[in-house]
Amino acid sequence: SQQGEEDPQALSIQEGENATMNCSYKTSINNLQWYRQNSGRGLVHLILIRSNEREKHSGRLRVTLDTSKKSSSLLITASRAADTASYFCAPGPGGATNKLIFGTGTLLAVQP
C-alpha cells in the first residue's frame, strides 16, 4: 500500500511549544506531501519534499525525509492555537498521475 501512516494519532500541546508528527510508508516514492485539515474543511497542502531532499523548511514548518527508513517528520515550531487541526502525510509515487492515498492523520490540539 502507498498509504502513509501518521504517528501519534493525537497530540496535545501548549501554545508556544513545538509539535512533531511522524509518517511512515512502505513503497518507493518520488515525493512526500503534508496536508492540514481544519474541522469540516478540505485539506490544505502544506509542503512537498522530494525523494532526493532530506530537509525542507517553510515558515514555522520543518519537514525531514529519510528514504532509507521510509519515514518523514513534520515539525511545527512555536505552535499557535490556530495550528489546531488534523495533519496528514501522503507518499507520492510520482509520474503524471500522482495518486495520493491518505492515512488517518494526527489530530493536533494546541491549548492557548
Partner 1 sequence: DAGVIQSPRHEVTEMGQEVTLRCKPISGHNSLFWYRQTMMRGLELLIYFNNNVPIDDSGMPEDRFSAKMPNASFSTLKIQPSEPRDSAVYFCASSFQGEKLFFGSGTQLSVL
Burial status of residue 87 (CB atoms within 10 A of its CB: 0-12, 13-18, 19 or more): buried
Judged by CB, which is closer to partner 1: 59, or 95?
95
**Binding pattern for the stretch 70-99 against partner 1, x by CB under 8 A and - elsewhere:** ------------------x---x-xxxxxx
Instruction: Pick from 19, 23, 29, 43 the residue near partner 1 by CB under 8 A.
Output: 43
- The answer to whether residue 34 forms part of the interface with partner 1 (CB under 8 A) is no
**Binding pattern for the stretch 11-30 against partner 1, x by CB under 8 A and - elsewhere:** --------------------
Task: Give the shortest CB-15-to-partner 1 separation in angstroms.
Answer: 27
- The answer to whether residue 59 forms part of the interface with partner 1 (CB under 8 A) is no
- The answer to whether residue 63 forms part of the interface with partner 1 (CB under 8 A) is no
How far is the C-alpha of 32 from the C-alpha of 90, rounded, in Å? Answer: 6
